[in-house]
Amino acid sequence: MSITGVRIIPSPLGKILLASGDGRSVCGLWFLGQRYFSRGMEETADTVDLPVFAETEEWLNRYFRGIDPGPVPELDPRGTPFQLEVWAAMREIPYGKTCGYGELAAILSQRQGNRRVSPRAVGSAVARNPISVLQPCHRVLAADGSLHGYAGGIWRKAALLAMEQGIPFQD
């Protein structure tokens, strides 16, 4: 992954690493140390002040205050064509709402002319989301409504969902 720059910002749920490949959009947002995190990036890429980082930090500050922050900054997710489809569908899940892996698979199936899409394949793509929070993988739940598979930790997934319901994060 070619990276123009990175920036580490604080959040109530731990430090966040932002990455941009083109200087205009976000290609990565990870809680430091989360699963599938691009380890070492914070040491190998230059820390820079990019307008998209300032815009993203403002968006996240509103979000972590429990305010619907509106449209996300420009994104540049990098993945397979299937992952990109899944992530695009995830971005359509409204603030404060959730969707099951099976529901997401059914949406994708319909968009692909009723070609069968496996909820397990959807789960794999959701788990490898490189732009946490902005591509709201935390809003995707198991069929029974339980919390599974958040690379940043289930406790963060629960906290993000609670914040979207107006329940402030408690340390």
Catalytic residues: 137
Query: Considering just the CA atoms, what is the radius of gyration of the chain in Å?
Result: 16
Q: DSSP E strands: which ranges in 10-165?
A: 16-20, 28-31, 99-100, 140-141
- The owner of tokens 């490949």 is 21
